Amino acid sequence: MLFDLDATLLDHDTARDAAIRSLLPAHDQLTSAEVKDLLAQWQRISHQLYERYLAGELTFAQQRLQRITQFSAEVIDLGVRSDDGAWAVFEQYQREYQHHWRPFDDVAPTVASLRAAGLAMAVVTNGPDEQQRKKVARIGLTDFPVLASGALGFSKPDPRIFAAASECVRQPVHACLMVGDNPDADVAGARAAGMQAVLLDRSAGSTAERSGLPTIRTLLQLVQGNLGNGTVE
């Protein structure tokens, strides 16, 4: 059993939003609609820059710095006037982000059941090795192997990361089930590599309806369904 990390095991969105709110000047004076728009703009900028990082166009540090400078220039003035100033703002963001790292409520009972069933498990994640390992440790999965793109040099949906994961859990690719929230990177990528995969859609179902992929709403369905052939009933 292979798991994505952010938005699958760790509640990344809640941590991210709390960190962004800590940066907003006079945030108590903003309407809920204004805050919602600011959060959406941060997500848009972050996604664009992170894709460039995964493509090798930016280093991890560069995309962090540019995230702050671009958000401050295009969306709301954060008082950033230099790279040093941008780093100071980012460090504040990072402190709040890490402070709010939490697992989803379904993680612990699901992992306990899968362990009892004797399944080997690992985390397969796009991101820097050190940070992703810290996240895994924070949510209590210290014994999980972590395959992070930052350490391997290739990222999901590259089939090599799924091949490496199957070797890590000592199972053939076709015997592994990948679970993640991203239809392309997690599910389509794993399937292209010859692996079984299921989409975790914790939302109201819009992602699943668009994707047409095998879908679960909660990780608990992994232990409630029939996994003998890699499907979830």
Report residue 93 as tokens: 């963001």
The answer, yes or no, to whether the previous bond of 157 is cis (omega within 30 of 0) is yes
Fill in the amino acid letter for 145: P
| 3-class secondary structure, 203 | coil
Residue 227 has pLDDT above 50, yes or no: no
Strands of the sheet with 177-180, listed across from one edge: 146-148, 122-125, 2-3, 177-180, 196-200, 215-216
Q: Up-side HSE of residue 196: CA atoms within 13 Å toward CB?
A: 15
Quote the mean pLDDT of the chain. 91
Percent of the chain with pLDDT over 90: 83
Whether residue 221 is predicted with pLDDT greater than 60 in this model: the reply is yes
* Lowest-confidence segment of 8-22, 155-169, 217-231 by average pLDDT: 217-231
The pTM of this model reads 0.89
Q: What pLDDT digit, counting tens, does each position of 110-150 carry?
A: 999 999 999 999 999 999 999 999 999 999 999 999 999 99
Alpha-carbon distance of 39 to 41, in angstroms, equals: 5
The per-residue pLDDT for range 173-218, each reduced to its tens digit, is 999 999 999 999 999 999 999 999 999 999 865 554 555 789 999 9
The pLDDT, as a whole number, for residue 233 is 34
Kind of pairing, strands 146-148 and 122-125? parallel
> What is the biggest distance separating any 2 CA atoms in the chain, rounded to whole angstroms?
57
| 137 strand-pairing partners | none
Question: Mean pLDDT throughout 66-89?
Answer: 94
